[in-house]
A and B are shown apart, each in its own frame.
Chain A
Amino acid sequence: MDPVTIDTTKIKTVKKKPVTALEKLEDTGLISTVLAAREREGLILFSTVDQIFNWARLSSLWPVTSGLACCAIEMMAVAMAHHDIARFGMEIFRASPRQADLMFVAGTVTKRMAPRVKQLYEMMPEPKWVIAVGSCASTGGPYHESYAVLKGVDLIIPVDVYIPGCPPRPEAWLYGVIQLREKIKNEGYGAKWGLNK
């Protein structure tokens, strides 16, 4: 029986592994103007300040530690090892809103809690983003007819991403986080000039 021979020249490499720092940066897909620098053999990097800032901001979003109801239990599941929110550089749930730039509104916003949630949001430094998690924080959910529950947290603070579910599964939660990263990537002048593509 003839031994099986493999013609290695016919095998296509799917993707070249990034070696240099510039190639790694290009591989993230965040900085689009690397091409211009490549022609100068990696000596110059053209970009906008916005793009660099956006890249830094979305790579280490720090959420504030606040949970209002059962969605907060899912937040713990997202933060734990199985779903591991640390992949997005956001495993540090800050205990102070002064050090956070993302707020998960995880749960039912009651009338009595609403001014506290608003104060927490106002204490966070700019730039800041809000994700409304679950049907309660989005619309009031099953308590929409209640006298004691706010009909959506977007009545009091601006919301960037809504994650539906009651409560949403951790996979949905991660999808919402990725949507927020996309949103941050497309902020500022770099996106206005089409440099984020």
Chain B
Amino acid sequence: MTELASYNFAYLDEQTKRMIRRAILKAIAIPGYQVPFASREMPMPYGWGTGGVQVTASIIGPDDVLKVIDQGADDTTNAVSIRAFFQKVADVAVTTHTQDATIIQTRHRIPEQTLREGQVLVYQVPIPEPLRFLEPRETETRKMHALEEYGLMHVKLYEDIARHGRISTTYAYPVKVASRYVMDPSPTPKFDNPKMHMYEALQLFGAGREKRIYAVPPYTEVVSLDFEDHPFEIQTFSQNCALCNAHGVYLDEVVLDDKGGRMFVCSDTDNCEDRRAHGHVGEMLAQDPPLGKEAAE
């Protein structure tokens, strides 16, 4: 009996991995600069994280422990599919615990728990060019980065203030990396921007459709753009998490019924579960059972 042909380890062929690995090394050497790479077709549509998956596939080894999050959650479609993909093609251990993972692939959130040295955070990026909506031509945005000409971005933020009285950009909030390149932190809420500054873990960004890889090494300055009289601010929440009572974390609003019922819960599910396991109880969990009153009506 012949052995059935199987995928190469981590799906990509070795030549593709080498090409991506070379791009990653140059990306780390030039923090915030977008390195073009020959993005491959992946067995999932663009927009599902093909860039992040290619970066993860190029760096992952048999000893790695992978965590995948989608908007902070381990149990949503995108996260579950990508985790299953790597279990199948790389046979690696997976986890939902932030501190156990060596590689965390993320879509649009940074874990609430601080990462440690040696962990790698891989972002899925839809549009890597922060200047793209201001200048559609790649030749021009290249030149703007080359000349460090970021006036247009400040004009955009100023127009926000002129129109709304404040900078209304709430996600994909532009940052300047190591005092040189303006970078799109991917559509993470601006709540997460301060975490990127002097972060302990290596941050890698992969954009599959746009064919770009960029990186922020550990302990690198990442400054959100702002003005002296309109300093950068993050979102604040008046409520605590309804399940774990956490304060100062990013919360998602969940609509409960058609009578205006709603709850705010942690977007980082691992952090929330960990807090509940340690005995923290939010107001919705304290009601026992949570929906008992309504059921009795």
Q: Do A and B bind each other?
A: no
B interface residue numbers (CB < 8 A to A): none
Binding site for B on A (CB under 8 A): none
